[in-house]
């Protein structure tokens, strides 16, 4: 199946071909800051499954250590919606922000990550936690 999505203003649209590898909730501090929400919810897929229409702005996220870029965070430069993160530690894997999908009716998270950064009120019982080093 083909999924579609867009940013808030509509300058960026995209299509995803096929199924997700996972739907992952990320509680990390950087996802909280970028989204302005308590966590990000991500449709994790192969880069080859995603086709983006429009020119996205790029933030090279160097993480807490400030060393090498570990995530390319791509967003709409007009309205600011985060669209996709390229996970440089897992080459060819992208995390598409579920909140930008046109239809989220069949989306349920499988895993959650960076649970140490989770906001205290968030309780996602029943979703497996990924261990972080
Ligand atoms: Zn936009
Ligand atoms: Zn994160």
- Nearest residue to 41 (alpha-carbon basis) of 132, 133, 126, 114: 114
Q: What is the pLDDT along the chain (133 residues), one digit of tens a residue?
A: 899 999 999 999 999 999 999 999 999 999 999 999 999 999 999 999 999 999 999 999 998 777 888 899 999 999 999 999 999 888 899 999 999 999 999 999 999 999 999 999 999 988 999 876 5
Question: Which CATH number is associated with domain 2-118?
Answer: 2.170.150.70
Between β-strands 22-26 and 111-113, what pairing exists: parallel, antiparallel or unpaired? Answer: parallel
CA of residue 125 to ligand 1 center, whole Å: 33
Ligand 2 center to 72 CA (angstroms): 12
What three-state secondary structure class fits 124?
Answer: coil
Domain spans of the chain, in order of start: 2-118
Phi, psi (5° rounding) for residue 17?
Answer: -100, 125
Residues within 5 Å of ion ligand 2 by Cβ?
26, 28, 31
Ligand whose nearest atom lies closest to the CA of 112: 2
Q: Is the pTM of this model over 0.85?
A: yes
Taking phi over 0 as left and psi of -120 to 50 as alpha, with beta for the rest, 73 belongs to: beta
């Amino acid at each position: 199946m083909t999924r579609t999505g867009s940013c808030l203003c509509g300058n960026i649209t995209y299509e995803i071909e096929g199924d997700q590898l996972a739907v992952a909730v990320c509680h990390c501090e950087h996802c909280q800051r970028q989204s302005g929400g308590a966590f990000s919810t991500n449709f994790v897929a192969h880069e080859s499954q995603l086709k983006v229409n429009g020119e996205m702005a790029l933030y090279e996220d160097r993480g807490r250590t400030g060393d090498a870029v570990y995530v390319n965070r791509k967003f709409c430069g007009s309205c600011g919606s985060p669209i996709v993160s390229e996970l440089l530690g897992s080459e060819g894997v992208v995390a598409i922000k579920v909140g930008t999908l046109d239809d989220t009716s069949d989306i349920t998270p499988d895993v959650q990550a960076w649970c140490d950064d989770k906001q205290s009120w968030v309780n996602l019982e029943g979703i497996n936690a990924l261990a972080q080093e």
